[in-house]
């Protein structure tokens, strides 16, 4: 039986970043940029007013005041029709282009309008007019051709604004992986159904869908398959359209544990079956390769905790790799045990834990867990404490590593290590921006 | 002019958590639970095998071994047809119900099958069979009626699994706010269009849509409105179907700054116009109240940085309040300035900064920022350093507060304060699970 590190190595060997595709910038939030982004234009594209006022010539204001003839008024979006010559001024609104000849903006507050004959005069009183004041010069912010973002960047909401500014409505990015989730087992009924004798509800399917969506993938829920080779084969074939197919249940050595043989019969190459860990030992992993694409196939154990542990150890890194992220494994922290713990020691054990910060030390509180079917206690955990194999007893105060639950729905509170590098933005999960939620304002259909 | 604290107080006074609605559990990821969730059943609903093996009577195994007659085989999803009596055993697979009479499971590995006459005998060799071993008793994990989750909880992927387990396909939750985004300005063209003379691309609209979606809201992009009272009014009326309407541009004192009068004419009650801060001073906020619902309306300044600062200071807290979150303001950290900074000091200033951790101290590096139109530099920042009013010069080493950009696409790296309370899960943004991304596996349409 291989160990966790070897299993992860094999998973990551099989998982390659998906080929980059064009993605609408609005949908690219959280995705990894796959191209160098250069500005297609100077920003701003013209000398521009930074505030409302009058475009003047500094030379006219040497004495500290002047009466100038008003030429015209330029709002943002309009263009000046004539240059500012000596003795004249043009009114400009914030964002408007500066007329030729003008070399400063005098704020509106420093001026007074007067009418003399048929003409409008501006009386300017301003002691210290600097050349260039309140003008944003063309290309001050970006020069045409300048690199704005490099490949590998995780796109943020502000980036979406920058991309719009330079005309990038579409970018090349690593797409969201397509994931399919299939729960197996004759005992399973959907959540909305009351279980009969010997039945339980399918919790792994909904949990895996939520985990996968939260990790940045698109997910298709394939529902529940009975323990029947023909039905399983048919559903698995559907799932092979995805980049990653997650099954739960049916991977043990029981008489109805049909998943491994069914997967092998469908031409999915087995990479490993069984890993030395607890819970989660029966996990199965294989790859279906086609000429242009491949599907990673995980047979996760049926117990919810086993499924969750295998998701964090193997599936999340695979998803992160498909997404092109630099950091593939979930964040970890080290902390001191609050109570003793003992185990047989033949396999590394993953145990739900909460973290507390006390006087600068991370304390690891092991929860009252009732075993690998106990999902509710896992929901209260901050992560999974890892007890390495080969050691039976752990004392209060002993250091243990905790793999943190990684979700956009909770703060990455225990991520003490991340504070060492504020510039690391590769490790977080993605989130679709401006996804069409089926809601539209009236008048838009 | 009011200050930032007073403006935020007024925003939060107007923003009330949205009334809870039924939400499919799969869509509730990141939302706040609005009801107490109790288990509708015992979990497990019956005494259940924790591994593959034989259900036996401990009394039969006192001597350390026994030959037992095999009664039947029960897989998960099936039910035993007869009790286990002295001298008999029933084969059970993991998850299967335990037959009456049996009080332990002997793992398959400790047994041997033999055939004697027409009957199958199990030869058990097991020295230490404990009563109850490998049996998960009914209701060990959850008792019917027991409280599983309390109101106020931010739902995580694991929670979605727990909810499925206890039959909750739908929960009462604070829904995602509906947001509408409208950029205004004659100078704006969409990102996919080349700007003509005097034109620039609309970057605020896409950025605001991304910020709002990332913060957990559903967003309708209303596009660009010209500086025309009739057109503006018509678009704003569309936006009033939302819970929160964000406009950008048109709130200053320029000749085409029509947003405040248009909003007032539409019956939107002005709460404030102008706040003492930089950038972002012209920000407008009002509320449209109807009998059953209200719309929060923000007129954000047109400069991208001003829009972003106002989003973080006022809009994000409003969204978090609508979502029912306990923590509404973005996370902040304190750090030491790396270089000097000076300002006029009449308004608090928000300046893009990066954070570095050095020998346990957070260092604040101010970026080379080119003013409030410079969005690109903001994209490289970890957050906004806040320089309070009333002080002109700040020296290297001085402490400043940094408001962190909060996004599911980046680690909450600088959140040193959050490490003090690992149990705080209220502050993070939401993320829809299993959203229909328009992709389906073959065979599902």
Predicted pLDDT at B355: 95
pLDDT at A124: 86
Paired strand residues for A253 = none
Each residue of B191-246: pLDDT tens digit? Answer: 999 999 999 999 999 999 999 999 999 999 999 999 999 999 999 999 999 999 99
pLDDT tens column, A374-388: 999 999 999 999 999
Taking every pair of Cα atoms in chain B, the longest distance, rounded to a whole number of angstroms, is 103
Q: At what angle do helices A157-165 and B204-214 cross, to 10 degrees?
A: 160
Q: List the domains of chain B with CATH numbers.
A: 2-18+175-322 (3.40.980.10), 22-43+140-173 (3.90.105.10), 48-136 (2.170.190.11), 332-420 (2.40.340.10)
pLDDT of residue B425: 28
Verify whether the Cβ–Cβ distance A78 to B416 is below 8 Å.
Answer: no
Cβ–Cβ < 8 Å for A247, A307: no
What is the per-residue pLDDT for B138? Answer: 95
Mutate to test the interface with A, among B100, B352, B407 (most CBs of A within 10 A): B407
CA torsion B2-B5-B10-B15 (nearest 10°) is 150
Percent of chain A with pLDDT over 90: 78
Split at pLDDT 50, 70, 90, the class of B420 is very low
For A14-52, the pLDDT digits (tens) are 999 999 999 999 999 999 999 999 999 899 999 999 988
What is the mean predicted confidence (pLDDT) over A191-195?
93
Q: What percent of chain A has pLDDT over 70?
A: 91
Q: What count of other Cβ atoms lies within 10 Å of the Cβ of residue A208?
A: 30
The rounded distance, in Å, linking the Cα atoms of A49 and B200 is 13
Average pLDDT, stretch B310-314? 98
Q: Which residues contact B326 (CB under 8 A, 6 or more apart)?
A: B152, B426, B427
Query: Is residue A371 within 8 angstroms of chain B, CB to CB?
Result: yes
Inform me whether the pLDDT recorded for A368 exceeds 70. yes
The answer to whether B306 and B315 are in contact (CB under 8 A) is: no
The lowest-confidence range among A239-248, B47-56, B393-402 is: B47-56
Which chain B residues are closer than 8 Å to A198 by Cβ?
A: 46, 76-79, 96-97
What is the structure's pLDDT at A128? 83
User: How far is B280 from B312, CA to CA, in rounded Å?
Assistant: 11
Minimum distance, in Å, between the CA of residue A353 and any CA atom of chain B: 11
What is the nearest CA distance from B244 to chain A, expressed in angstroms? 12
Q: How far is the C-alpha of A403 from the C-alpha of A380, rounded, in Å?
A: 14
pLDDT of residue A120: 84
Q: Give the mean pLDDT of B404-413.
A: 63
Q: Looking at residue A409, what is its pLDDT?
A: 63
Lowest mean pLDDT of A213-222, A368-377, A387-396, name the range.
A368-377
For chain B, report the end-to-end CA distance as a whole number of angstroms: 57
Given a cut of 60, is residue B414 above it in pLDDT? no
* CB contact B441 to A (< 8 Å): yes
Cβ separation B44–A357 shorter than 8 A: no
Q: What is the pLDDT of residue B409?
A: 63
Taking residues A287-309, report their average pLDDT: 94
- Predicted confidence band of residue B120 (pLDDT cuts 50, 70, 90): confident
CA distance A419 to chain B (A): 5
Average pLDDT over residues A310-323: 97
Specify the higher pLDDT residue, A334 or A443.
A334
d(C-alpha B213, C-alpha B223), whole Å: 16
Across B6-26, average pLDDT = 96
State the pLDDT at residue A429: 27
Confidence check: pLDDT of B17 > 90:
yes
Q: Which of A:326-345 have CB within 8 Å of B?
A: 331
pTM for the structure as a whole: 0.89
ipTM above 0.95, yes or no: no
**How close is the nearest chain B Cα to the Cα of A373, in Å?**
8
Contact across the interface for A187 and B214, Cβ inside 8 Å: no
Residue A13 has pLDDT above 90, yes or no: yes
Element housing B358 (H / E): strand B349-358
Rounded to the nearest angstrom, the gap between the alpha carbon of residue B320 and the centroid of all alpha carbons in its chain is 10
- Whether pLDDT at B415 is above 80: no
How far from the centroid of its chain's Cα atoms is residue A391's Cα? Answer: 38
Q: Is the pLDDT of residue A92 over 90?
A: yes
The pLDDT value given to residue A444 = 29
Cα atoms found within 13 Å of the Cα of residue A104, Cβ hemisphere only: 18
* CA B396 to chain CA centroid, nearest Å: 37
A236-250, A333-347, B123-137: the lowest-pLDDT one:
B123-137
Would you say residue A226 has pLDDT above 80?
Answer: yes
Output the CA torsion A166→A172→A174→A176 (10° steps).
80
pLDDT score for A373? 87
* Average pLDDT score over residue span B158-165: 97
User: In chain A, what residues touch B282 (CB-CB under 8 Å)?
Assistant: none
Overall average pLDDT of the B413-436 stretch? 29
Our CA angle for A71, A77, A79, nearest 5°, is 40
Average per-residue pLDDT for chain A: 89
- List chain A residues with CB under 8 Å of B176: 437
Residue B160's closest CA among A115, A180, A214? A214
For B322-380, write each residue's pLDDT tens digit: 999 999 999 999 999 999 999 998 999 999 999 998 888 999 999 999 888 899 999 99
Omega within 30 of 0 (cis) for the link into B103: no
Residues 122-151 of B with CB under 8 A from A: 136, 140-142, 148-149
Q: How far apart are CA A282 and CA A250, in angstroms?
A: 9
Instruction: Indicate the average pLDDT of chain B.
Output: 89
- Please tell me the total number of residues recorded for chain A in this structure: 445
CB contact under 8 A, A409 and B419: no
Q: How many CB pairs under 8 A join A and B?
A: 451
Q: How does residue A437 score in pLDDT terms, banded at 50, 70 and 90?
A: very low
Give the pLDDT confidence score for residue B430 in this predicted structure.
Answer: 29
Residues in chain B, total: 445
Query: What tokens does B249 get?
Result: 């541009």
């Amino acid at each position: 039986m291989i160990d966790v590190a070897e299993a992860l190595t094999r998973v990551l060997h099989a998982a390659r970043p998906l080929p980059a595709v064009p993605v609408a910038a609005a949908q690219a939030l959280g995705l990894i940029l796959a191209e160098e982004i250069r500005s297609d234009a100077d920003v701003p594209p013209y000398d521009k007013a930074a505030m409302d006022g009058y475009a003047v010539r500094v030379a006219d204001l040497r004495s500290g005041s002047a009466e100038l003839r008003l030429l015209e008024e330029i709002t943002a979006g309009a263009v000046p029709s004539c240059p500012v010559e000596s003795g004249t001024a043009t009114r400009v609104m914030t964002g408007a282009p500066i007329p030729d000849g003008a070399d400063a903006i005098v704020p509106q507050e420093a001026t007074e309008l007067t009418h003399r004959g048929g003409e409008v005069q501006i009386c300017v009183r301003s002691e210290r007019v600097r050349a260039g004041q309140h003008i944003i010069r063309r290309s001050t912010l970006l020069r045409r051709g300048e690199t704005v973002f490099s490949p590998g960047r995780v796109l943020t909401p502000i980036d979406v604004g920058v991309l719009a500014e330079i005309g990038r409505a579409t970018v090349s990015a690593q797409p969201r992986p397509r994931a399919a989730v299939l729960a197996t087992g004759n005992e399973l009924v959907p959540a909305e159904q009351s279980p009969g004798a010997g039945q339980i509800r399918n919790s792994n399917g909904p949990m895996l869908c939520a985990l996968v969506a939260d990790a940045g993938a698109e997910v298709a829920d394939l529902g529940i398959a009975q323990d029947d080779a023909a039905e399983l084969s048919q559903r698995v074939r559907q799932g092979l359209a995805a980049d990653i197919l997650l099954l739960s249940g049916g991977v043990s050595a029981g008489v109805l544990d049909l998943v491994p043989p069914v997967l092998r019969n469908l031409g999915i190459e087995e990479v490993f079956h069984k890993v030395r860990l607890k819970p989660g030992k029966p996990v199965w992993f294989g790859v279906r390769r086609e000429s242009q694409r491949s599907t990673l196939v995980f047979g996760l154990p049926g117990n919810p905790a086993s499924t969750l542990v295998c998701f964090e150890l193997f599936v999340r890194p695979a998803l992160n790799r498909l997404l092109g992220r630099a950091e593939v494994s979930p964040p970890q922290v080290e902390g001191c045990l609050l109570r003793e713990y003992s185990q047989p020691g033949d396999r590394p054990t993953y145990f739900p834990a909460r973290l507390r910060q006390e006087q600068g030390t991370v304390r690891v509180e092991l929860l009252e867990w009732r075993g690998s079917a106990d999902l509710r206690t896992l929901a209260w955990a901050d992560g999974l404490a890892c007890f390495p194999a080969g050691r039976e007893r752990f004392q209060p105060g002993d250091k243990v590593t905790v793999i943190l639950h990684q979700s956009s729905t909770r703060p990455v509170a225990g991520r003490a290590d991340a504070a060492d590098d504020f510039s690391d933005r590769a490790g977080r999960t993605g989130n679709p921006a401006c996804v069409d939620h089926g809601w539209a304002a009236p008048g838009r259909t």
